[in-house]
Amino acid sequence: MNQGPEEKTALLENPWPDEPPVLTPGQSYGSMTDQIADAVLTRPIGLGWLAGLAIGMGLLGILMAAITYLFLVGVGIWGINIPIGWGFAIINFVWWIGIGHAGTLISAILLLLKQSWRNSINRFAEAMTLFAVACAGMFPLLHMGRPWLGYWMFPYPSSMGVWPQFRSPLVWDVFAVSTYATISAVFWYVGLVPDFATMREKASNVYTKSVYGLLAMGWRGSARHWKRYEALYILLAGIATPLVLSVHTVVSFDFAISIVPGWHTTIFPPYFVAGAIYSGFAMVLVLAIPIRHYYGLQNMITMRHLQNSAKIMLATGLIVGYGYFFEAFMAFYSGSTYERFMMENRWLGPYAVFYWSLIFFNLVVPQVLWLPKIRANTKWLFLISLVILVGMWLERFIIIITSLTRDFLPSSWGHYVATRWDYAVFFGTIGLFSAAIFIFIRIMPAISIFEMRTLLPEAEVKAHES
């Protein structure tokens, strides 16, 4: 939004000739406003959208069924056992939380870095964050043996005078994830208020008008309001940045704090955060590419955005690769027989195929992103992003399952096989996520209108007279 003049001019004559602009020329406040708003207000409901929503809802139904059965019978319906006390539930939790990182990252960190190109993708990236965190947030509850007592995780004065055990990373999780969810939600809403005002004014139908009106809280674009608004927005970005980094760090503590070989590693926090951003941007592309295609937003979500995301994926992918390497290196360098065996077991043990496909998906495949050709090809980007998402899921599978199957005492080694209920819950959450996304793009401006306006050249106040 408040770009310095130098950047404005930069936007105008686009100093990176080899790269597409952030905004295609020939647009005005009005045109952009209409284009984004009409996608919600006047565009008729398409068959594609209905089909997509239907699939999402279908999977969501499966999720509901699976959860009902889970609560009736118990976590025994899953593949978990002793020694593998954590299975799909925690894998999915970490996976979703990771995906949930891109949104805040784009809106907060890129904002602080004055990366104006973020303006056209931050809105649905944040939405994506919320829905991903919603999916993730279910699992800590679902995986409990007695989920009806989940509130014991929170500090409240109970009749027994007992409290949560604050040394446990699981309690840290509760704090980190709930804080993250809250902050992301308010951040998202605050960003939406001015656009709700726009929708309020554009809406023809009186009901729509009043709903958007309520959400807009009577926003009227006053300079004073904008001033405070800006101040808050920057501050939110400022605190959301350490937050987003802390969340996956805390999630990685679930493993790093324990003594399980393959978990007890100091490299986990950075490596988990990088992985989170990695999968997060993959999900952003998986969503952005179809959306810009079906809603004809190529002029606002340009190749520039896709390519920058691809570059970030490439960078974080390399960090993750570094993590894989050092996991292995430390396993041998540490001289711990347990660590060493754990690594050998990952490479050659019963789950070796998962490990190597993870390396292939997360490390080998993304290297093609070095090629500008690939980065310029939406289909390739879409495909690679999907591969990365699968790879990141496998990474969590490897970390959690292989480490637990064979730890200290060979006598108590075990094996893990997921049941149909494990899969039901996993794909169920994908349903929840996609259903939410589909509904979101129908009822809210998928791109931040007011921030797009600031990208226009004329938005800048020319200082020809003093």
Please say whether the dihedral angle defined by the alpha carbons of residues 417, 434, 115 and 243, taken in this order, is positive or negative.
negative
| Least Å from the CB of residue 394 to other proteins | 19
Please say whether the dihedral angle defined by the alpha carbons of residues 372, 19, 125 and 172, taken in this order, is positive or negative.
positive
Task: Give the containing element (helix H, strand E) for 466.
Answer: none
- Max Cα-Cα span within the chain: 83
Residue 372 touching other proteins (CB under 8 A): no
For other proteins, the closer CB: 187 or 324:
187
State residue 206 phi and psi, 5-degree precision.
Answer: -65, -35
Q: How many CA atoms lie within 13 A of 360 on its CB side?
A: 6
Give residues with Cβ within 8 angstroms of 333, minimum separation 6: none
Among 294, 322, 326, 413, binds other proteins (CB under 8 A): 413
For other proteins, the closer CB: 46 or 76:
76
- Exposed (0-12), middle (13-18) or buried (19+): which is 34, by Cβ within 10 Å? middle
| Least Å from the CB of residue 99 to other proteins | 20
| Least Å from the CB of residue 260 to other proteins | 6
Closest CA to 449 of 211, 108, 216: 216
Residues 126 to 145 in contact with other proteins, rule: CB under 8 A: 143-145
Residue 338 touching other proteins (CB under 8 A): yes
Among 21, 58, 169, 270, binds other proteins (CB under 8 A): 169
| Least Å from the CB of residue 171 to other proteins | 5
| Least Å from the CB of residue 23 to other proteins | 14
Residue 349 touching other proteins (CB under 8 A): yes
CA distance linking residue 364 with residue 366, whole number of Å:
6
For other proteins, the closer CB: 209 or 442:
209
Q: Coil, strand or helix: which one is 163?
A: coil
Residue 411 touching other proteins (CB under 8 A): yes
String marking each residue 67-106 x if it binds other proteins according to CB under 8 A: ------xxxx--xxxxxxxx--------------------
165 touches 139 (CB < 8 A):
no
Residues 390 to 409 in contact with other proteins, rule: CB under 8 A: 404, 406-409
Q: Where are the alpha helices (DSSP H) in 143-205?
A: 169-202
402 touches 36 (CB < 8 A):
no
| Least Å from the CB of residue 227 to other proteins | 4
| Count of Cβ atoms closer than 10 Å to residue 234 Cβ | 14
Among 24, 222, 266, 298, binds other proteins (CB under 8 A): 222
Among 183, 276, 291, 313, binds other proteins (CB under 8 A): 183
Q: Coil, strand or helix: which one is 368?
A: helix
Tokens of 291: 């959306």
String marking each residue 1-20 x if it binds other proteins according to CB under 8 A: xx------------------
CA distance linking residue 49 with residue 441, whole number of Å:
10
Residue 345 touching other proteins (CB under 8 A): yes
| Least Å from the CB of residue 441 to other proteins | 21
For other proteins, the closer CB: 79 or 321:
79
Residue 353 touching other proteins (CB under 8 A): no
Residue 146 touching other proteins (CB under 8 A): yes
| Least Å from the CB of residue 238 to other proteins | 9
Binding residues for other proteins, rule CB under 8 A, total 118
| Least Å from the CB of residue 152 to other proteins | 5
Residue 33 touching other proteins (CB under 8 A): yes
Residue 270 touching other proteins (CB under 8 A): no
Among 27, 115, 168, 377, binds other proteins (CB under 8 A): 168
Among 69, 226, 326, 423, binds other proteins (CB under 8 A): 226
Give residues with Cβ within 8 angstroms of 445, minimum separation 6: 36, 37, 39, 40, 123, 192, 195, 198, 199
Closest CA to 452 of 338, 254, 324, 297: 297
Give residues with Cβ within 8 angstroms of 135, minimum separation 6: 92, 96, 429, 430, 432, 433
For other proteins, the closer CB: 206 or 259:
259
Taking contact as CB under 8 A, which single stretch among the options 218-226, 298-306, 325-333, 421-429 is the one that binds other proteins?
218-226
